[in-house]
Amino acid sequence: MWNFLRQISSNGVLFAQISSRPMILPQNARFLSKDIKGKFSIGDEVLDGRPLYLDAQATTPLDPRVLDTMLPYLTSYYGNPHSRTHAYGWESEEAMEKARGQIASLIGADPREVIFTSGATESNNISVKGVARFYGEKKRHVITTQTEHKCVLDSCRALEGEGFRVTYMPVQQNGIISLEELDKAMTPDTSLVSVMTVNNEIGVKQPVGEIGALCRSKGVFFHTDAAQAVGKIPIDVNAMKIDLMSISGHKIYGPKGVGAIYVRRRPRVRIEAVQSGGGQERGIRSGTVPTPLAVGLGAACDIASREMEYDHKWVSFLSERLYQKITTALPQVIRNGDPHETYPGCLNLSFAYVEGESLLMALKDVALSSGSACTSASLEPSYVLRAIGTDEDLAHSSIRFGMGRFTTINEVDYTADKCIKHVTRLREMSPLWEMFQEGIDIKNIQWSQH
Catalytic residue positions, numbered: 374
Q: In this structure, are residues 169 and 182 in contact, taking their beta carbons and an 8 Å threshold?
A: yes
Helix ranges (DSSP H) in 223-283:
none
Rounded Cα distance, 195 and 128, in Å: 11
- Structural element, H or E, at residue 178: none
Pairing label, strands 52-53, 366-367: parallel
- Give the span between the Cα atoms of 342 and 176, in whole angstroms: 10
**Are 44 and 364 contacting, i.e. CB atoms less than 8 angstroms apart?**
no
Report the candidate in 200, 197, 174, 172 with the shortest Cα–Cα distance to residue 335. 174
Closest residue by Cα to residue 166 from 137, 198, 128, 138: 128
d(CA 24, CA 8): 8
How many Å is the Cα radius of gyration of the chain? 25
- Torsion over CA: 304, 305, 307, 310 (sign): positive
The amino acid at 374:
C
d(CA 96, CA 175): 38
Q: Quote the distance between the C-alpha of residue 321 and its chain's center.
A: 21
How many angstroms separate the first and last alpha carbons of the chain? 21
d(CA 412, CA 408): 6
Q: What angle is formed at CA 442 by the lines to CA 388 and CA 4, rounded to 5 degrees?
A: 130
Percent helix, strand and coil across the chain, each to the nearest 5: 40, 15, 45
